[in-house]
Amino acid sequence: MDRFSIVVGDITESDAEAIVNAATESLLGGSGVDGAIHHAAGPELLAECRTLHGCPTGQAKLTKGYRLKASYILHTPGPVWRGGQSGEAEKLASCYRSCLQLAADYGIRSVDFPCISTGVFGYPAVQAAAVSLRAIMDFLRDHDTPRRVRVVCHTKDSAKIWRQTYNFWFAETKADRL
Ligand code: AR6
Protein backbone atom coordinates (compact mmCIF):
# COMPACT_ATOMS: atom_id res chain seq x y z
CA MET A 1 0.00 0.00 0.00
CA ASP A 2 2.08 2.94 -1.27
CA ARG A 3 -0.32 5.53 0.20
CA PHE A 4 0.51 4.45 3.77
CA SER A 5 3.63 4.49 5.93
CA ILE A 6 4.78 4.29 9.54
CA VAL A 7 7.41 6.83 10.65
CA VAL A 8 9.13 7.87 13.87
CA GLY A 9 8.95 11.49 14.92
CA ASP A 10 7.23 14.42 16.59
CA ILE A 11 3.85 14.98 14.98
CA THR A 12 3.96 18.71 15.76
CA GLU A 13 6.70 18.98 13.11
CA SER A 14 4.70 17.13 10.47
CA ASP A 15 4.46 18.51 6.93
CA ALA A 16 1.12 16.79 6.31
CA GLU A 17 -1.85 18.94 5.31
CA ALA A 18 -3.63 17.74 8.47
CA ILE A 19 -2.44 16.15 11.69
CA VAL A 20 -4.63 14.27 14.14
CA ASN A 21 -4.80 15.17 17.81
CA ALA A 22 -5.46 12.40 20.36
CA ALA A 23 -7.74 14.73 22.28
CA THR A 24 -10.04 14.64 25.28
CA GLU A 25 -13.83 15.01 24.97
CA SER A 26 -13.76 18.64 26.13
CA LEU A 27 -11.26 19.48 23.34
CA LEU A 28 -9.70 21.91 25.79
CA GLY A 29 -6.23 20.39 25.85
CA GLY A 30 -4.31 18.06 28.11
CA SER A 31 -0.96 16.32 28.32
CA GLY A 32 0.81 14.02 25.86
CA VAL A 33 0.43 14.71 22.16
CA ASP A 34 -2.56 16.98 22.87
CA GLY A 35 -0.42 19.25 25.06
CA ALA A 36 2.40 19.24 22.51
CA ILE A 37 0.05 20.19 19.66
CA HIS A 38 -1.56 23.04 21.64
CA HIS A 39 1.88 24.29 22.68
CA ALA A 40 3.17 24.28 19.10
CA ALA A 41 0.01 25.66 17.49
CA GLY A 42 -0.33 28.55 19.94
CA PRO A 43 -3.21 29.99 21.98
CA GLU A 44 -5.44 30.64 18.96
CA LEU A 45 -6.01 26.88 18.82
CA LEU A 46 -7.55 26.78 22.29
CA ALA A 47 -9.73 29.77 21.38
CA GLU A 48 -11.12 27.92 18.35
CA CYS A 49 -11.53 24.68 20.35
CA ARG A 50 -13.71 26.55 22.87
CA THR A 51 -16.19 27.30 20.08
CA LEU A 52 -16.60 23.57 19.25
CA HIS A 53 -18.32 22.54 22.55
CA GLY A 54 -16.45 19.27 22.84
CA CYS A 55 -16.50 16.05 20.82
CA PRO A 56 -17.76 12.55 21.75
CA THR A 57 -15.28 9.66 21.89
CA GLY A 58 -14.79 8.13 18.45
CA GLN A 59 -15.89 11.22 16.53
CA ALA A 60 -13.74 14.05 15.12
CA LYS A 61 -13.79 17.81 14.69
CA LEU A 62 -11.57 20.03 12.54
CA THR A 63 -9.70 23.23 13.38
CA LYS A 64 -7.06 25.27 11.66
CA GLY A 65 -3.41 24.45 12.39
CA TYR A 66 -2.34 27.99 13.34
CA ARG A 67 1.45 28.01 13.98
CA LEU A 68 1.90 24.40 12.81
CA LYS A 69 3.11 23.53 9.32
CA ALA A 70 -0.10 21.52 9.01
CA SER A 71 -3.04 23.57 7.74
CA TYR A 72 -5.58 21.59 9.78
CA ILE A 73 -5.91 19.60 12.98
CA LEU A 74 -8.41 16.76 13.24
CA HIS A 75 -9.25 16.36 16.93
CA THR A 76 -10.52 12.96 18.06
CA PRO A 77 -10.97 11.67 21.61
CA GLY A 78 -9.92 8.01 21.78
CA PRO A 79 -11.37 5.46 24.19
CA VAL A 80 -9.93 4.93 27.67
CA TRP A 81 -8.75 1.30 27.98
CA ARG A 82 -10.98 -0.51 30.52
CA GLY A 83 -9.83 -4.08 29.84
CA GLY A 84 -11.12 -4.51 26.29
CA GLN A 85 -14.76 -5.50 26.94
CA SER A 86 -16.22 -1.98 26.90
CA GLY A 87 -16.31 -1.33 23.16
CA GLU A 88 -12.78 0.07 23.11
CA ALA A 89 -11.85 -1.49 19.74
CA GLU A 90 -14.93 -0.19 17.95
CA LYS A 91 -14.42 3.29 19.41
CA LEU A 92 -10.74 3.33 18.46
CA ALA A 93 -11.53 2.23 14.89
CA SER A 94 -14.20 4.92 14.78
CA CYS A 95 -11.59 7.60 15.66
CA TYR A 96 -9.54 6.70 12.58
CA ARG A 97 -12.60 6.42 10.31
CA SER A 98 -14.04 9.74 11.54
CA CYS A 99 -10.77 11.59 10.97
CA LEU A 100 -10.29 10.10 7.52
CA GLN A 101 -13.90 10.84 6.53
CA LEU A 102 -13.56 14.43 7.73
CA ALA A 103 -10.31 14.75 5.76
CA ALA A 104 -12.03 13.34 2.66
CA ASP A 105 -14.96 15.76 3.11
CA TYR A 106 -12.53 18.70 3.13
CA GLY A 107 -10.43 17.35 0.24
CA ILE A 108 -7.39 17.05 2.50
CA ARG A 109 -4.66 15.17 0.66
CA SER A 110 -2.35 14.04 3.48
CA VAL A 111 -3.01 13.08 7.11
CA ASP A 112 -0.61 12.12 9.91
CA PHE A 113 -1.92 10.21 12.95
CA PRO A 114 -0.38 9.68 16.38
CA CYS A 115 -1.01 6.31 18.09
CA ILE A 116 -4.39 7.31 19.53
CA SER A 117 -5.23 6.09 23.08
CA THR A 118 -1.87 4.37 23.63
CA GLY A 119 -0.50 6.90 26.14
CA VAL A 120 -2.55 8.37 29.00
CA PHE A 121 -5.63 6.35 27.94
CA GLY A 122 -3.72 3.08 28.37
CA TYR A 123 -4.68 1.11 25.24
CA PRO A 124 -2.14 -1.75 24.84
CA ALA A 125 0.13 -0.93 21.91
CA VAL A 126 -0.10 -4.21 20.00
CA GLN A 127 -3.89 -4.34 20.16
CA ALA A 128 -4.18 -0.65 19.28
CA ALA A 129 -1.91 -1.11 16.25
CA ALA A 130 -4.01 -4.00 14.90
CA VAL A 131 -7.33 -2.20 15.32
CA SER A 132 -6.01 1.12 14.02
CA LEU A 133 -4.29 -0.38 10.97
CA ARG A 134 -7.44 -2.32 10.03
CA ALA A 135 -9.50 0.89 10.17
CA ILE A 136 -6.96 2.85 8.09
CA MET A 137 -6.51 0.14 5.47
CA ASP A 138 -10.25 -0.41 5.07
CA PHE A 139 -10.80 3.31 4.56
CA LEU A 140 -7.97 3.69 2.03
CA ARG A 141 -9.25 0.70 0.09
CA ASP A 142 -12.65 2.38 -0.30
CA HIS A 143 -11.63 6.04 -0.78
CA ASP A 144 -9.21 7.96 -3.03
CA THR A 145 -8.81 10.86 -0.57
CA PRO A 146 -6.66 11.39 1.43
CA ARG A 147 -3.90 10.29 -0.91
CA ARG A 148 -1.28 9.86 1.84
CA VAL A 149 -1.69 8.62 5.41
CA ARG A 150 1.09 8.13 7.92
CA VAL A 151 1.23 6.95 11.51
CA VAL A 152 3.82 9.03 13.37
CA CYS A 153 5.17 6.96 16.26
CA HIS A 154 6.89 8.88 19.02
CA THR A 155 9.43 6.13 19.71
CA LYS A 156 11.34 3.52 17.72
CA ASP A 157 9.86 0.80 19.95
CA SER A 158 6.35 1.83 19.09
CA ALA A 159 7.19 2.04 15.36
CA LYS A 160 8.58 -1.51 15.60
CA ILE A 161 5.26 -2.75 16.99
CA TRP A 162 3.29 -0.99 14.26
CA ARG A 163 5.58 -2.23 11.49
CA GLN A 164 5.48 -5.81 12.75
CA THR A 165 1.70 -5.66 12.97
CA TYR A 166 1.48 -4.14 9.51
CA ASN A 167 3.80 -6.75 8.03
CA PHE A 168 1.89 -9.58 9.69
CA TRP A 169 -1.58 -8.50 8.57
CA PHE A 170 -1.29 -6.17 5.61
CA ALA A 171 1.98 -6.37 3.68
CA GLU A 172 1.42 -7.61 0.16
CA THR A 173 2.78 -11.06 -0.49
CA LYS A 174 4.43 -11.91 -3.79
CA ALA A 175 1.32 -13.90 -4.63
CA ASP A 176 -0.79 -10.73 -4.25
CA ARG A 177 1.29 -8.93 -6.83
CA LEU A 178 1.16 -11.69 -9.43
N1 AR6 B 1 4.33 13.21 18.44
C2 AR6 B 1 3.87 11.96 18.18
N3 AR6 B 1 3.38 11.15 19.12
C4 AR6 B 1 3.36 11.60 20.40
C5 AR6 B 1 3.83 12.88 20.76
C6 AR6 B 1 4.33 13.69 19.71
N7 AR6 B 1 4.78 14.93 19.96
N8 AR6 B 1 3.68 13.03 22.11
C9 AR6 B 1 3.15 11.87 22.56
N10 AR6 B 1 2.96 11.01 21.54
P11 AR6 B 1 -1.37 10.45 24.56
P12 AR6 B 1 -4.06 9.22 24.59
C13 AR6 B 1 2.41 9.65 21.56
O14 AR6 B 1 -1.21 10.21 26.02
O15 AR6 B 1 -3.51 7.96 25.14
C16 AR6 B 1 -4.20 13.88 26.93
O17 AR6 B 1 -4.13 14.45 28.18
C18 AR6 B 1 2.49 8.85 22.83
O19 AR6 B 1 3.77 8.24 22.95
O20 AR6 B 1 -0.94 11.75 24.01
O21 AR6 B 1 -5.02 9.15 23.45
C22 AR6 B 1 -5.51 14.22 26.21
O23 AR6 B 1 -5.97 15.51 26.52
C24 AR6 B 1 1.40 7.82 22.61
O25 AR6 B 1 1.89 6.72 21.84
O26 AR6 B 1 -2.92 10.26 24.11
C27 AR6 B 1 -6.44 13.15 26.70
O28 AR6 B 1 -6.98 13.47 27.97
C29 AR6 B 1 0.39 8.56 21.76
O30 AR6 B 1 1.02 9.76 21.32
C31 AR6 B 1 -5.52 11.95 26.85
O32 AR6 B 1 -4.23 12.47 27.08
C33 AR6 B 1 -0.90 8.91 22.48
O34 AR6 B 1 -0.61 9.26 23.82
C35 AR6 B 1 -5.48 11.14 25.58
O36 AR6 B 1 -4.74 9.97 25.80
Domain extent listing, the chain: 4-176
- Site to substitute for ligand 1 among 81, 94, 117, 120, most atoms within 8 A of C-beta: 120
pLDDT in tens, the chain (178 residues): 789 999 999 999 999 999 999 999 999 999 999 999 999 999 999 999 999 999 999 999 999 999 999 999 999 999 999 999 999 999 999 999 999 999 999 999 999 999 999 999 999 999 999 999 999 999 999 999 999 999 999 999 999 999 999 999 988 754 544 4
Distance 120 CA to ligand 1 centre (A): 7
CATH number of 4-176: 3.40.220.10
Distance 37 CA to ligand 1 centre (A): 10
Residues having CB within 6 Å of any atom of ligand 1:
10-12, 22-24, 30-34, 36, 78, 114-121, 152, 154, 158
Contact assessment for residue 41 and residue 70, using Cβ atoms and an 8 Å cutoff:
no
DSSP codes joined into one string, 30-87:
-SHHHHHHHHHH-HHHHHHHHTTT---TT--EEEE-TTSSSSEEEEEEPPPPSSS-SS
Calpha distance 148→32 (Å, rounded) = 24
Distance 45 CA to ligand 1 centre (A): 17
ω into 146 cis (within 30 of 0)? yes
Angle between helices 125-142 and 156-169 (to 10 degrees): 50
